[in-house]
Amino acid sequence: MTALLVLAFLLAAATGTGVVLTRHPRRQVVALAINGLALALLFMALQAPDVAYSELAVGTAALPLMFLGLLVSIATDRPEK
Amino acid sequence: MKPAARLVVTLVAALALLPGVVAVILHMPSFGDHALPYGDAINRLAPVERHVTNMVTAVNFDYRGFDTLGEEYMLLAAVTGALVLLRGRRGENVSDAPAKADGRSIAPRSPAVMLICRFFAPVLLLFGVYVVLHAQLTPGGGFQGGVIIGSGALLLYLGESYRTWRRFMRSLIFDMIEATGALIFVLAGFGPMMAGAKFLENTLPLGQSRALISGGLILVTNAGTALAVAGGFVLLLLEFLEETRALDAGDKS
């Protein structure tokens, strides 16, 4: 295992922990996107560019957007304090 | 259940699962080791049999194309389900016109955001098309390219206002794009059967290896997937952003 891989693994673990520790939903969406980016870098380092593409497109763009849309939709009935 | 009792149950469950976890960890293959012969076989056979240089695409759209067919229809079902739920709640036939919501206006975009989006949206769309077209040559393919094209559509929304975006993002067009993509994949399956071959058998001319047009049937299935994914993604965007119902700057809020 090279230093690059170790770094990528640690980055993925750190950002994943960040998602869990973030309590505010909207900030958590951003944390999730950052975790997706770290995972994409990890897959790239593991020589799986196809998976990295998918993770980048779905994990950092599509999924956070759906969550944001959902949060806005929920806020229709209960305005945030 | 009290928090203390919950903790006890969690600990008991963790203790019960621990031997299994340890056994699995001890028997894992070492890092980077791949014991199964399938990957090596594909690496050896696909360039000769299918004239492609991206083995992932060869597996996805040819050797295991039947699985991808199932995946594509899973996507179609998921998108249809989300659309039925969201549109059904709003009422039929109202999706063509963007909705209004009082007191829900969002801050107008800054010129910087508009400029960046107007520059990057076409570039991203072009890049998505590139990823789709080079599926059999370089990493990427219909799925990834389709989502990248969808992300380009999202940047268009960010750069333009919601109402402008909705003016050229017609739901019906993307309904048809998604359905056409799914249909192309099925026809790619049944087409070879008309010629006496098996379902999804690669009977088309394979072309020159490393050329843009190569891989035979892979081109067709990949194009179908790209259309279905891009169409489905934009449809989801349309319905989800309609949920946010943002007003334009000029609208009464």
**Looking at residue B252, what is its pLDDT?**
46
Q: Which residues contact B36 (CB under 8 A, 6 or more apart)?
A: none
Q: Which of A57, A69, A70 sits opposite B151 (nearest CB)?
A: A57
**B151: contact with A, CB 8 A cutoff:** yes
**Looking at residue B174, what is its pLDDT?**
93
Element holding B171 (H helix, E strand): helix B171-194
Q: How many domains does chain A have?
A: 1
Would you give the distance in Å from CA B172 to the centre of its chain? 19
Judged by CB atoms closer than 8 Å, whether chains meet at B150 and A72 is answered as no
Least confident of B81-90, B114-123, B139-148: B81-90
Closest alpha carbon within chain A to B148:
A57
**Is A27 part of a structural domain of the chain?**
yes
At B245, is the pLDDT very low, low, confident or very high (cuts 50, 70, 90)? low
pLDDT tens-digit profile of B25-42? 999 988 888 888 998 999
Judged by CB atoms closer than 8 Å, whether chains meet at A69 and B243 is answered as yes
Q: Which of A54, A62, A69 sits opposite B241 (nearest CB)?
A: A69
| HSE-up of residue B164 (Cα within 13 Å, Cβ side) | 13
Report residue B202: phi and psi, to 5°.
-80, 90
Tokens of B252: 């009464």
Q: Which of residues 19-48 of B touch A (CB under 8 A)?
A: 31-32
**Looking at residue B92, what is its pLDDT?**
64
Q: What is the pTM of this model?
A: 0.85
Alpha carbons B92 and B155: distance in angstroms, whole number: 28
More confident residue, B108 or B78: B78
Sketch the domain layout of chain B as residue ranges: 44-82+109-244
How much is the ipTM here? 0.83
Examine the pLDDT at B132 and tell me if it is beyond 50: yes
8 A C-beta contact, residue B162 and residue B241: yes
**Looking at residue B169, what is its pLDDT?**
87
Judged by CB atoms closer than 8 Å, whether chains meet at B139 and A61 is answered as no
**Looking at residue B30, what is its pLDDT?**
87
**B148: contact with A, CB 8 A cutoff:** yes
Examine the pLDDT at B253 and tell me if it is beyond 70: no
8 A C-beta contact, residue A58 and residue B147: yes
**Looking at residue B182, what is its pLDDT?**
94
Helices (H), chain B: 3-26, 38-50, 55-58, 65-90, 111-133, 142-159, 162-168, 171-194, 217-244
Over residues B209-222, mean pLDDT: 90
**Looking at residue B88, what is its pLDDT?**
77
Q: Range of A33's domain?
A: 3-74
Judged by CB atoms closer than 8 Å, whether chains meet at B139 and A76 is answered as no
Which chain A positions have a beta carbon within 8 Å of B151's beta carbon?
57, 61-62
Which chain B positions have a beta carbon within 8 Å of A1's beta carbon?
31-32
Judged by CB atoms closer than 8 Å, whether chains meet at A54 and B143 is answered as yes
**B240: contact with A, CB 8 A cutoff:** yes
Query: Average pLDDT, whole number, for chain B?
Result: 87
> pLDDT digit of tens for each residue in chain A (81 aa)?
789 999 999 999 999 999 999 998 889 999 999 999 999 999 999 999 999 999 998 899 888 888 887 787 676 544 554
pLDDT tens-digit profile of B87-107? 877 766 665 666 666 666 556
Judged by CB atoms closer than 8 Å, whether chains meet at A73 and B241 is answered as no
Which chain B positions have a beta carbon within 8 Å of A53's beta carbon?
131, 139-140, 144
